[in-house]
Amino acid sequence: MILTTLIATTIMMFEMPTLPYAHNALEPVISQATIDFHYGKHLQTYVNNLNNLVPGTEFEGKSLEEIVATAPDGPVFNNAGQVLNHTFYFLQFSPAPKRHEPAGPLAEAINRDFGSFEDFKKEFTAAATGLFGSGWAWLSVDQQGKLHITKEANGSNPLRSGLTPLLTFDVCEHAYYLDYQNRRADHLKALWDIIDWEVVEKRLK
For residue 47, the model assigns a pLDDT of 97
- The DSSP bridge pattern shows strands 164-170 and 135-141 to be antiparallel
| HSE-CB for 17 with a 13 A CA cutoff | 22
DSSP state of 168: E
Confidence of residue 162 (pLDDT cuts 50, 70, 90): very high
Interval 82-102: pLDDT, tens: 999 999 999 999 999 999 999
pLDDT of residue 6: 36
pLDDT above 90: residue 117? yes
Candidate CATH numbers 3.55.40.20, 3.40.50.1970, 3.40.50.1110, 3.40.50.1100; the one for domain 104-202:
3.55.40.20
> Identity (one letter) of the amino acid at 119?
D
Confidence (pLDDT) at 81: 96
**CA 49 distance to own-chain centroid:** 18
Per-residue model confidence as pLDDT tens digits over 173-199:
888 888 889 999 999 999 999 999 999
Q: What angle do CA 189, 194, 198 make, to 5 degrees?
A: 125
- CA–CA gap between residue 157 and residue 13 (Å, rounded): 20
Q: How many residues does the chain have?
A: 205
pLDDT digits (tens, 9 = 90+) for 18-69: 999 999 999 999 999 999 999 999 999 999 999 999 999 999 999 999 999 9
Task: Indicate the pLDDT class of residue 146, thresholds 50, 70 and 90.
Answer: very high
2: pLDDT strictly greater than 90? no
- The predicted structure's pLDDT at residue 12: 47
CB 29 within 8 A of CB 194: yes
* Domain extent listing, the chain: 104-202
Measured from the Cβ of residue 165, the count of other Cβ atoms closer than 10 Å reads 22
